[in-house]
Structure 1
């Protein structure tokens, strides 16, 4: 489904991209890692479905007792590093979208830790912008507004003048709470779970145009 009506005639000072499911496809490897982790820790994998888009540091404490959390976090980090090393695909339109945006007007805002981010960047060869916000950079991760507020702050722009591009309910909630306009992409979650101002299947359907008045988004 494509619905860009809410973006028609509007411009933005910056674009804040989620990474996994938005710019890169790490889903298969991540699901494999989490399934193995769940088996090892006696967790019903069905319990993971409602926690998508949240950082591991929020997911693990919700599923295990406090005395098991530290070791379990270290284990999922290790498993996700292993699958990231096997290679990660760039999603359609990623390279074109990042190339169209000025370096000082784009950031990645991710729930990854710094070390997992580095592994996935290496595995995907993502042409990453210079500003990246990870889970380690904020006190509260998605769905709290902190990640997108920090992304806007680092770019020196008002979050209400930012477009946040996300694929997960938690990320969209985080962006909305920060005051950003939201654009949902991808197929990692059912469409009816993605509460956003605009929707597109992926970035290949979009054209980002930077001009004196700001950044406009249109159909390709």
Structure 2
């Protein structure tokens, strides 16, 4: 259900996905994947639906036609995404929210590679944390919990002591698989598709404060 005023969540640290959670990059992703789908005769809607929250190499490997080198194709798509920042914007209120957090208590965990993550975070004006886990840092992408578990422990906490902010099914599942509490952004999924999830539309109303060694996250009542 939508996070209501006074419904506070407690954690030691906060872990954030990037695309659809900190910033909107949907237009770029659609341009790149639709071109690739057309090149190989793939259904772009099926491809895009499956790509949400997943590493490029995982998506390309899944859909790559026989005889086509998936690694080379994934590298080419990554280059195209790094070169295209048109339409990338921060989610409303996110910059102010992140700046209110202690730097050592949050991290980014994204399916993008490090070069792409840097490009997009800079394009959206997102402040950079000390810890950013990207595609190169894990052996398995979301919904595998490796990325979130690794980020939590690098911050000095267990995954169960964190809140994972996510927008896509694969990422929400990765957070739960890690043992974290999840808070969804209603950017990729509609509110009616978020049954059973705590969710917010953006960051304009949400606040975080330190209390008894915890971060208390919620909407003031």
The normalised TM-score by structure 1 is 0.91
What is the DSSP-based 3-state SS (H/G/I as helix, E as strand, rest coil) of the residue aligned with 1:15? strand
What is the DSSP-based 3-state SS (H/G/I as helix, E as strand, rest coil) of the residue aligned with 1:11? strand
- Tell me what 1:21 maps to: 20
Q: Which stretches in structure 1 are left out of the alignment for 5+ residues?
A: none
What is the DSSP-based 3-state SS (H/G/I as helix, E as strand, rest coil) of the residue aligned with 1:123? helix
Q: How does 1:105-184 map to 2 (within 5 A)?
A: 105-184=105-184
CA contact (8 A) 2:109 2:148 kept: yes
CA contact (8 A) 1:107 1:130 kept: yes
What is the DSSP-based 3-state SS (H/G/I as helix, E as strand, rest coil) of the residue aligned with 2:139? coil
Deviation at 1:51, TM superposition (A): 3.2
The normalised TM-score by structure 2 is 0.91
Q: Which stretches in structure 2 are left out of the alignment for 5+ residues?
A: none
What is the DSSP-based 3-state SS (H/G/I as helix, E as strand, rest coil) of the residue aligned with 1:83? coil
Q: How does 1:26-105 map to 2 (within 5 A)?
A: 26-48=25-47, 49-65=49-65, 67-68=67-68, 69-84=70-85, 86=86, 88-105=88-105
- Cα root mean square deviation, aligned: 2.0
Normalized per residue, the structure richer in helix is 1
CA contact (8 A) 1:169 1:194 kept: no
Encode CA deviations 1:88-138: one digit per residue, 9 max, x unaligned.
Answer: 211111112111111110000111011111221232221111111111101
What is the DSSP-based 3-state SS (H/G/I as helix, E as strand, rest coil) of the residue aligned with 1:31? helix
- Counting matched residue pairs gives 218
CA contact (8 A) 2:24 2:89 kept: yes
